[in-house]
Amino acid sequence: LAKTTQPISMDSYEGQEVNITCSHNNIATNDYITWYQQFPSQGPRFIIQGYKTKVTNEVASLFIPADRKSSTLSLPRVSLSDTAVYYCLGASTGGGNKLTFGTGTQLKVEL
Amino acid sequence: NAGVMQNPRHLVRRRGQEARLRCSPMKGHSHVYWYRQLPEEGLKFMVYLQKENIIDESGMPKERFSAEFPKEGPSILRIQQVVRGDSAAYFCASSQETGLQETQYFGPGTRLLVL
């Protein structure tokens, strides 16, 4: 599984776009990039997953360049409720994949 | 469409007692994973099970910890003779049986406190 590196913390204000970049230099050919969000005292919540280029859903966008050595999670117009820890993981396709969580990025959104 | 359910949400045990944590996967999911999270840390994989089979227990401590996922009923993570260092949040996740991009969906966790 790919080892990932992401900033420990980020601060933002309501209404701004937040971009969290994750480095995964040793990503394997069959690894997908997956992002989870975790609020205090809750389990991680799946946000988005991609292999390369751009993926967008109702919550976020994920940008993965051609070399796939990094990825950027983009949260448009954040609100206070987006304050959480965001984890970037490399996850292999197929069954039985154990996820490896780092310490994540603590995003704090203020008024 | 109920998500992954875990109970109890909070569990207090004294040193030496047994802790039993339950996890019911999402409907249609036959893969279950257990993770442990210590304060200020990310989740650490413990064990992966399919119905009646342990597939990968490489993250499970060799002693006192066991897991099962019977044909009927929830998955159980059992910790015997608990010690203070077992205090943590234990999360269960489930995924579908087949397919690429096998997303794991997490439950709310069980917070174990050992006195």
Q: Which residues of B touch A9 (CB under 8 A)?
A: none
Instruction: State which residue of chain A sits closest to B46, comparing Cα positions.
Output: A98
Taking only Cα atoms into account, the Rg of chain A, rounded to an integer number of angstroms, comes to 13
Percentage of residues in chain B having pLDDT higher than 70? 95
pLDDT value at residue B103? 84
Question: What CA–CA distance (Å, rounded) separates B67 from B53?
Answer: 10
- Strands (E) across B8-114 are located at 10-13, 19-24, 29-37, 43-50, 53-56, 65-68, 75-79, 88-96, 105-106, 110-114
**Residue-level pLDDT at A2:** 65
Please compute the mean of the pLDDT values over residues B25-47 and round it to a whole number. Answer: 91
Residue B49 pLDDT more than 90?
yes
Q: What is the structure's pLDDT at A3?
A: 79
Model pLDDT, residue A90 = 78
* Nearest beta carbon to residue A98 from set B56, B91, B97: B56
With contact defined as beta carbons under 8 Å apart, do B47 and B57 qualify? yes
> What is the residue-level pLDDT of chain A in tens, covering all 111 positions?
567 899 999 999 999 999 999 998 888 887 889 999 999 889 999 999 999 889 999 999 999 999 999 999 999 999 999 999 999 987 765 555 678 888 899 999 999
Which of A70, A61, A68, A67 has its CA nearest to residue A88? A70
Q: What pLDDT is attached to residue A96? A: 58
Instruction: Give the pairing of strands B19-24 and B75-79.
Output: antiparallel
Whether residue B17 contacts residue B110, with contact meaning beta carbons closer than 8 Å, is answered with no
pLDDT exceeds 60 at position B3: yes
The amino acid that residue A74 corresponds to is S
Inter-chain Cβ pairs, chain A and chain B, closer than 8 A: 64
